[in-house]
Amino acid sequence: MELRKLEDLELNGKKVFLRLDLNVPIKKGVIQDDTRIKEALPTIKYILERTNRLTMASHLGRPKNGGSPEDSLEPVGLRLSELLGRDVVLYGDYTTDSASNLLQTLGRNQVMLLENLRFHEGEEANDIDFAHSLVDGYDFYVNDAFGTCHRAHASVSRAAELLPEQKRAAGFLIQKEIAALGSIITKPEAPFTVIMGGSKVSDKISVILNLLNSCNHMLIGGAMAYTFLKYKGVDVGSSRIEADKMDLVATIMKNAEARRVQIHLPVDHVCAKEFAETSTPENIANQAIPAGYMGLDIGPKTIAEFSRVIRDSRTVLWNGPMGVFEWANFAKGTMAIAAAMADVRGKTVVGGGDSVSAAHKSGFADKMTHISTGGGASLELLEGKVLPGLKVLMK
């Protein structure tokens, strides 16, 4: 995949529309994690070094009925202002009066941020009129919102198409994501281990089947592991499974056997009688789980085996926790995976979603080669799909 890059554009003095992913967690007006804002800074600063006629745009959450003050990007604008040392002007009337017109009136130390794109139905509907309201009057379109590139939304795909191909480009974050995830798909150094966790096999069937073409080992934990164990005839107690997805598991197992990929499943578990944070954890030393118990984490023998495979690998991709890592009693397995990845003498990639939170919680995030900012986007790219937001940036 060859994308037109930000560096390919002649930006001097030109008007630039920049789509970012500033969808950060906010509680009572306070940003809880500004990672996505900081990830956007290299692209923002590069553009501002060449032109001060910049309009930034992002969605925030899933606002309903036109949004509310709680869904406003105002806290994001204030944080950007602190990080950039510039006045960030939040503009909400861009559907009635083009933001490109207002750019002419901004001072040299000011930059514009559009109010939450999802306040408008036209964003998620990929509406062409809404797309025109976003980019009419601009010289260039730049996208650095990797986490939204799998969405065919107005600001992600339709707006880009309204400018000539040579006037659109990918920012630095998207370039970094494509380089890291792309190398996993095309040329991973062996042994290549994939760690899959989370709740549902059905959510990840396509990416699992695609990765079976190149990996040597696949470690399966989280709730999806109990569906695999059930398929193999192992008792899983009251653990959560997808009873109607056994055909998907069969497909995965047959493909793994045909490609000589070793599937590793838990051999012991940390269980509880109820799905609650305060439940007492109990180690079950066998692969079978007794009736009345549910698996909520992998056990110590599984941790040792999974960690050995990971440390012996040259390439590791991790997507999905090994248990309910948000609860301290059931976090050991997930934290152990992060620790093992930190010891790998090769490339380690965390493929978005809950794994990102787990990596940061573990304290080993800085030991990973790459941590993706895209959940769904990462998975669809790893499936081999061409994402709508990337297709419009291709040369």
Task: Tell me the pLDDT tens digit for each residue of 269-295.
Answer: 999 999 999 999 999 999 999 999 999
- Distance, in Å, from the CA atom of 254 to the CA atom of 204, rounded to the nearest integer, reads 16
Q: Give the number of domains in the chain.
A: 2
Do 279 and 154 share a structural domain? Answer: no
| Residue of 244, 333, 327 lying closest to 280 (CA atoms) | 327
When pLDDT is averaged across residues 338-361 and rounded to a whole number, the result is 91
Do 172 and 193 share a structural domain? Answer: no
Tell me, yes or no, if 200 is annotated catalytic: yes
When pLDDT is averaged across residues 70-95 and rounded to a whole number, the result is 96
Is 394 within a domain? no
Neighbours of 135 (CB within 10 A): 28
Angle between helices 354-362 and 332-342 (to 10 degrees): 80
Q: Which of 4, 15, 19, 36 is catalytic?
A: 36
Burial 226-255 (b: 16+ CB within 10 A, else e): bbbbbbeeeebbbbbbbeebeebbeebeee
Q: How many CA atoms lie within 13 A of 334 on its CB side?
A: 32
Q: Which of 50, 200, 240, 391 is catalytic?
A: 200
Is 183 within a domain? no
Amino acid identity at 377: A
CATH classification at residue 145: 3.40.50.1260
Q: Which of 346, 375, 376, 391 is catalytic?
A: 376
Tell me, yes or no, if 384 is annotated catalytic: no
Do 101 and 210 share a structural domain? Answer: no
Amino acid identity at 316: V
- Distance, in Å, from the CA atom of 320 to the CA atom of 352, rounded to the nearest integer, reads 8
Is 139 within a domain? yes
Do 273 and 352 share a structural domain? Answer: yes
Do 283 and 196 share a structural domain? Answer: yes
Which pair of structure tokens corresponds to residue 393?
């940036």
Do 212 and 108 share a structural domain? Answer: no
Tell me, yes or no, if 376 is annotated catalytic: yes
257: containing domain: 188-383
Mean residue pLDDT of the chain comes to 95
Tell me, yes or no, if 385 is annotated catalytic: no
Name which of 98-107, 119-128, 341-350 the model is least confident about.
Answer: 98-107
Contact 144, 170 (CB under 8 A): yes
